Amino acid sequence: MSSTARAPRSPATLADLEALPETVVGEIIDGTLYTHPRPRPRHVHFGGRLSRELQGPFELGSGGPGGWWILIEPGIQVEGSAEFVPDLAGWRRERLPELPEDRLSVVPDWVCEILSPSTRAYDQRIKRPFYARIGVRHLWFVDLEARTLTVSELLNGRWLELGVYGEEDVIRAAPFEATELKLGEIWPPAPTS
């Protein structure tokens, strides 16, 4: 099952999201409801490992500068009825001093999307320009099949690609340049079949 969009007679609402089954992720972008299946185990595994690698130095200040919130699959509501769920997102604490009890409504400073067969085109064609439009400063795309990380930064409303890295690389990537990230240590093992 790939990402699908509902042809709107009227803009989608939060009630449309709440009506979805548990096995489906839904997002509303520009009034359109997009749905796709929940992430697969390798996708979830990578997201958890990357989150842990970043939370230590950047959220907890362990071996790094701290000053961030790093969340896995947060529901974020901005621009009226827009509701989206990045795989990972981060906020500088000077912009989001504490986490809210309910939905987040502050645009993240950093978003990471883990591309999968069901979301690849959607993440690149719909979410990438949406993130630029709402002002996300840093965007990472992880391609589990190609085993690459693409790092981009928003400059004058357009994405500037800063680099594409593979599992053998040890990197310092914006906005987390303060510490090294060893991609080979967080990549899930390659499938054997």
**Which domains can be identified in the chain, with CATH numbers?**
40-186 (3.90.1570.10)
- Mention every residue, 6+ apart, whose C-beta is less than 8 A from residue 15: none
Using CA atoms, how far apart are residues 146 and 166, in angstroms rounded to an integer? Answer: 8
What pLDDT does residue 71 have?
97
Backbone angles phi and psi of 50, in degrees to 5: -65, -40
Question: With contact defined as beta carbons under 8 Å apart, do 69 and 175 qualify?
Answer: no
Per-residue pLDDT of the chain (193 residues; tens, 9 = 90+): 467 665 556 888 889 999 999 899 999 998 899 998 888 888 899 999 999 999 999 999 999 999 999 999 999 999 766 899 999 999 999 999 999 998 899 999 999 999 988 899 999 999 999 999 999 999 999 999 999 999 999 999 999 999 999 999 999 999 999 999 999 999 877 777 6
pLDDT score recorded for residue 81: 62
As a three-state string, the secondary structure of the chain is CCCEECCCCCCCCHHHHHCCCCCEEEEEECCEEEEEECCCHHHHHHHHHHHHHHHHHHHCCCCCCCCEEEEECCCEEECCCEEECCCEEEEECCCCCCCCCCCECCCCCEEEEEECCCCHHHHHHHHHHHHHHHCCCEEEEEECCCCEEEEEEEECCEEEEEEEEECCCEECCCCCCCCCEEHHHHCCCCCCC
| Rounded Cα distance, 193 and 35, in Å | 29
Q: Give the pLDDT confidence score for residue 166 in this predicted structure.
A: 95
pTM above 0.85, yes or no: yes
Give the model's pLDDT for residue 103: 83
The phi, psi pair for 126, rounded to 5°, reads -100, -55
Do residues 124 and 3 make contact, with C-beta atoms less than 8 angstroms apart?
no
Please state whether the peptide bond connecting residue 175 to the residue before it is cis, i.e. omega within 30 degrees of 0.
yes
> Strand pairing partners for 76?
84, 104
- For the record, the structure tokens of 38 come out as 């929940």
